[in-house]
Structure 1
Amino acid sequence: MRRRRRWPAVVAAGAVVAGVAGWAVAYGPLRAEEPPRTADPEAVRTARAFLSSWAAGDLPAAARLTDAPAKAEETLRNFTAGLEIAKPVLTAGAARVDGAADTGARLPYRAKMPVAGLGTWSYGSELAVARTEAGWRVRWELPLIHPQLNAEQRFKLVEEESAELAAVDRDGGAISAAEHPSLVSVLGLGGGKPRGEVQVVDRITGETRATAVRFGPEPGEGGGPLRTTIDARTQRAAERALAEHVKGRNAGLVAVRIDSGEVVAVANGPAGGFNRAFQGTYAPGSTWKVVTSAALLANGSVTPESRVACPRYLTVGKQFHNLDTSEIPGASFRDDFIHSCNTAFVALRGRLADDEMTVFAKDYFGIGPEWRTGVGSVDARVPVPANETEKAAALFGQGKLQANPLAMASVTATAVSGTFRQPLLVKGTEQPEVTTKPLPPKVVKQLRSLMRDTVTKGSASVLASVPGEVGAKTGTAEVTEDGNNNGWLVAHDGEIAVACVVEEAESGSGSAGPVLRDLLTELAERSGGAAG
């Protein structure tokens, strides 16, 4: 490029506006847009006050802000007491108008629920606010507490202690808690570690329908040492890189073998804390564009050289933009991918059916069915979007998408190999069958090229010094409207795929980038760059 341009990096939707946009063309200039509508400020204040009172433990005050105070107080009390939740952290997102007329607002929020000394249960939900004779009130409905809570099912907490446990790595060497501190909470080394899960059960029969979240290690079999797929050297390198660059922030990292799906490293920050790498629930940000791009390339909507405009703004119910409201004049899809243009991906939403991302993620990336790694993990979720705004946000990893480093390491491995392989940490774990299709070879080749260019010419240049043909994708996921973001980076070196998330970050390249640079450089310096 001869002219200097300000290339956009990924950020989520910014200004809180609402309305239906006039954008209907994937390529070319913008059409005129309708004036955006904003949610009523008093409705938003009511929603935020409800969350604030709930988080503070003032359940009567929270209940009075609903249209069913008695039922709301009873349910909130049963939820927090029954699951032994203390001091929930509830973070409001960006409000939007609810419905075609300005009659209410919807406010998404992120919940972090400390459960019974087991760990933090993180998830997303949303609440609706409607105008009543008494003023604005939160519309009381069970799913506002958690999307899986409804009239037919409830939650049940099951707890126990893990048995005394020893563990070995993939080569049979003992895993030391002193040498691998992240694995203490992941595997439950030494025994006596709390273990449990929040189950979704039938309200009438008590039958378990699903597991909402698991905490702590799963029991080993046969009384012998737990046989893991961990590669000791890769594990040490991952923990060292995370400790060096995260500087006390919450973080998680997973590395898997591309040819088998075996987990060779799992690290968390803090090392002895919550297993964010396997149990976190995050919006994956623009790292998800790997999957979106695979779907668009597979159905023939684009090629890497297709012209796909990257404007400063694009409104689809709310305003989406790029970092510093930058743009790419005359952009190709390759430019949009390697420089992480959100608006270009939003503009392509008409090229995918409403449920296409959900179906594609399941059919090709194994996301949807339950995974069993041998320890507690939370599966990624790609729900069918409820409207055009959610669909637009999902294309660049926001909205209601849910993932963690385990899921995104697997996504990366699938993208660059073409074949989904269920991740595994504990050998001998009985895994449910997940049937998938191979990605077309042409799509795999295109994805590898796009990810390589992201390192050599794009937003993942932090990895340019790593020897070999490293490919990557950056991501910066918005958590709240005015708070810090989560920084993501996924990468591969041809043999391993790795994903890292760092909370309270400015960008994926700036926060997760140095971690993966150090890890991949150390792996490359080994003979042949092998992970094990």
Structure 2
Amino acid sequence: MDTHADHSAPVLTPGGPRPRRRALRAVTAGVVVLAVAAGGAWAAGIGPFARHTGPDPAAGEQARAFLADWAAGRVPKAAERTTSPDTARRVLDSFTEGLDIDAPALTAGAASEAEDGTVTVPFTARMPVTGLGTWTYRSELPLREQQDGVWKVDWKLSLVHPRLSGTEKFRLEREDGEPPEVADRQGRKLSAGTFPSLAPLMTRLGGDGAGDTGARGAIRLVDRTTGKVRRTEAAFGAKTVRADEGPVRTTLDADWQSAAEKALASHGDGRNAALVALRIDDGEVLAVANSPSGGFNRALSGTYAPGSTWKIVTTSALLLKGAVAPDDVVDCPKFLTVGKKFQNVELSEHPGATFRKDFTESCNTAFISLRDRLGDGELGEVARTYFGVGQEWHVGAPTYDGSVPVPKDETEKAASMIGQGRVQANPLIMASVTATAVSGRFHQPSLLAGTEDTTRTEPLPPKVVGQLREMLRATVTGGTAKILSGLPGEVGAKTGTAEVSDDQDNNGWLVAHRGNVAVACVVEEGVTGGGSAGPIVRSLLAEAPGEAR
């Protein structure tokens, strides 16, 4: 896949007026990320196929400009983009007072237009709390076209945060104390000395932030007058446990964790890599391993293009609407140009291939050729509705829960079909995707018992599940995941190669399932999935004790 990184910043200036459109539509321009998290960069190049349907683009531009000014600390400029500049300036200045928030990241979503002509732009706010982690929440901006034709953010206190009001505000509370002792699902003690990959995780159990320290604290919603706590908005750091309560019991399995750490150490070749194994029937995480073992938790919080492992979701979307069947002929040429030239790994081609063959050989051009059979936002909807990707997960430790923005043009839509463009995931997400595909039902992953589950998903039809399982198995017996053939049990898998930039080798991916366990592994600059992640996953499955109890 010939891709070229584009690091230029978007121009965020409001456009001019135009007649209102009354129908409810979604902007196909997609999601604009105003502050980019750590991860791979990919650009679709110039977009000659950009859409101009939906709400007035000027409304979306004004919303994104407001968020950009707010995120950059240009509060007076942000306030001027609202219908109540003085009030907006005062609130934006005071909102983070005492919360120790630095450099917020505000990500705009796809706009929609109501019958009365108002436009709504949802956004995700990631507020880094110094020394603790990241407070993440979602809100939305209402916009109205003014008499002079200029769009303005229709100021409301709740747009800053849905629960901010005249009677309630937020307060930061910090806690002291040592992180707890940690045990696996059978009560066996887990120590960082024995399991180095768990060192950063142990200090974060019980928190939902995204920082890297062992400190603890919380953001509370409190009554402005009495100071009484109404609810906890975000908790950071290790779970607070009394000495007489004993170790924190996790879902981890010491045997699987040991096998995962050995696999990375023996076959990771010193590269940055991460691996997650979880139970298919309930989402309980059995192993979390990172290389290097200290620092950033790539397995749970990484933001990577999932490459061809994402074809599991794309295939699900196509099968769900009957857009293709496994035995349909879908040609697999070496190249396909959609605004830019896409190609297959090692320039492979399979003339007259069936869709099943395209899947097992991971043919990029075949999948891209089917892009018109899905609506612009359909891939993201399937990911969210059936796989829980992009919803908020409460795993028991800080996680990144995935993103599948609506593509901004045909080139980016082509890229999203093969897990590139702005699609982002990590091993936790892709292990969960694999588990959902082969069981038919999403289970929110968990590291601790009793974690809150606010996700809402639908089951995949049994016919689709059967087709996915058959193709995943065929990928092992005669496709790109042959490295897993010969292992005991019925193993299914999908490889992935994800481009990062012109000056970096591709990341390698492999996801697999056997029995009641799903696994996902990424190797940064691993070149190919089968060649880099394949040996790691094979080692794990060969070493692991079988089903976790």
Query: TM-score under structure 1 normalisation?
Result: 0.70
Deviation for aligned residue 1:99: 6.0
- The CA distance in 1 between the partners of 2:507 and 2:476, in whole Å, is 20
Q: Which residue of 2 aligns with 1:456?
A: 477
Deviation for aligned residue 1:496: 0.2
**What are the equivalent positions in structure 2 for 1:216-231 lying under 5 Å apart?**
217=238, 219=240, 224-231=246-253
Deviation for aligned residue 1:188: 2.0
- The CA distance in 2 between the partners of 1:175 and 1:301, in whole Å, is 48
Q: Which residue of 2 aligns with 1:254?
A: 276
**What are the equivalent positions in structure 2 for 1:410-449 lying under 5 Å apart?**
410-429=432-451, 431-449=452-470
Structure 1 residue 169 and structure 2 residue 169: aligned? Answer: no
Instruction: Evaluate the alpha carbon distance shift between residue 92 and residue 298 of structure 1 in structure 2; reply closer, same or farther with a 3 A threshold.
Output: closer
Q: Which residue of 2 aligns with 1:380?
A: 402
- Contact map agreement 1:195 1:218 (CA 8 A) in 2: no
Q: Percent identity?
A: 51
Q: Which residue of 2 aligns with 1:531?
A: 548
Q: 1:96 aligns with which of 23, 45, 52?
A: 45
Q: Which amino acid aligns with 2:106?
A: Q
Q: Which residue of 2 aligns with 1:295?
A: 317
Q: Which amino acid aligns with 1:471?
A: G
Q: 1:148 aligns with which of 95, 98, 106?
A: 106
Structure 1 residue 263 and structure 2 residue 251: aligned? Answer: no
Q: Which amino acid aligns with 2:495?
A: T
Instruction: Evaluate the alpha carbon distance shift between residue 464 and residue 190 of structure 1 in structure 2; reply closer, same or farther with a 3 A threshold.
Output: closer
Q: Which residue of 1 aligns with 2:116?
A: none
SS at match of 2:189: coil
- The CA distance in 2 between the partners of 1:273 and 1:189, in whole Å, is 12
Q: Which residue of 2 aligns with 1:502?
A: 523
- The CA distance in 1 between the partners of 2:420 and 2:233, in whole Å, is 25
Q: Which residue of 2 aligns with 1:319?
A: 341
Deviations 1:378-427 (A, max 9, x none): 11111111211111111110011110100000000000000111100012
Q: Which residue of 2 aligns with 1:14?
A: 2
- Contact map agreement 2:3 2:501 (CA 8 A) in 1: no
- Contact map agreement 1:159 1:197 (CA 8 A) in 2: no
Instruction: Evaluate the alpha carbon distance shift between residue 460 and residue 215 of structure 1 in structure 2; reply closer, same or farther with a 3 A threshold.
Output: farther
Deviations 1:453-480 (A, max 9, x none): 1001000011012111100000010010
SS at match of 1:389: helix
Q: 1:511 aligns with which of 532, 536, 541?
A: 532
Deviation for aligned residue 1:190: 12
- The CA distance in 1 between the partners of 2:177 and 2:2, in whole Å, is 44
Q: Which amino acid aligns with 2:519?
A: V
Deviations 1:137-170 (A, max 9, x none): xxx9788999726899784423247633101110
Q: Which amino acid aligns with 1:324?
A: E
Deviations 1:476-502 (A, max 9, x none): 100103421111000000210000001
How many positions carry a matched residue from both structures? 412
Q: 2:203 aligns with which of 188, 192, 199?
A: 188
Q: Which amino acid aligns with 2:548?
A: A
Deviation for aligned residue 1:376: 1.0
Q: Which residue of 2 aligns with 1:392?
A: 414
Q: Which residue of 1 aligns with 2:60?
A: none
Instruction: Evaluate the alpha carbon distance shift between residue 217 and residue 339 of structure 1 in structure 2; reply closer, same or farther with a 3 A threshold.
Output: farther
SS at match of 2:201: helix
Which consecutive residues of structure 2, in runs of 5 or more, have no partner in the other structure?
A: 14-33, 51-67, 73-102, 109-120, 133-175, 207-211, 222-230
- Contact map agreement 2:40 2:304 (CA 8 A) in 1: no
Q: Which residue of 1 aligns with 2:22?
A: none
Q: 1:486 aligns with which of 507, 511, 528?
A: 507
Q: Which residue of 2 aligns with 1:367?
A: 389
Q: 1:329 aligns with which of 351, 354, 372?
A: 351
Deviation for aligned residue 1:531: 2.7
Instruction: Evaluate the alpha carbon distance shift between residue 449 and residue 186 of structure 1 in structure 2; reply closer, same or farther with a 3 A threshold.
Output: same
- Contact map agreement 2:179 2:214 (CA 8 A) in 1: no
Q: Which amino acid aligns with 1:498?
A: V
Which consecutive residues of structure 1, in runs of 5 or more, have no partner in the other structure?
A: 1-12, 18-43, 52-64, 68-78, 102-139, 202-207
- Contact map agreement 1:155 1:198 (CA 8 A) in 2: no
SS at match of 1:194: coil
Query: TM-score under structure 2 normalisation?
Result: 0.67
SS at match of 1:97: coil
- The CA distance in 2 between the partners of 1:209 and 1:322, in whole Å, is 48
Deviations 1:173-217 (A, max 9, x none): 211222111111112299995347999x9xxxxxx9998xx9864
- Contact map agreement 2:131 2:213 (CA 8 A) in 1: no
Structure 1 residue 157 and structure 2 residue 178: aligned? Answer: no
- The CA distance in 2 between the partners of 1:445 and 1:383, in whole Å, is 28
Instruction: Evaluate the alpha carbon distance shift between residue 390 and residue 218 of structure 1 in structure 2; reply closer, same or farther with a 3 A threshold.
Output: farther
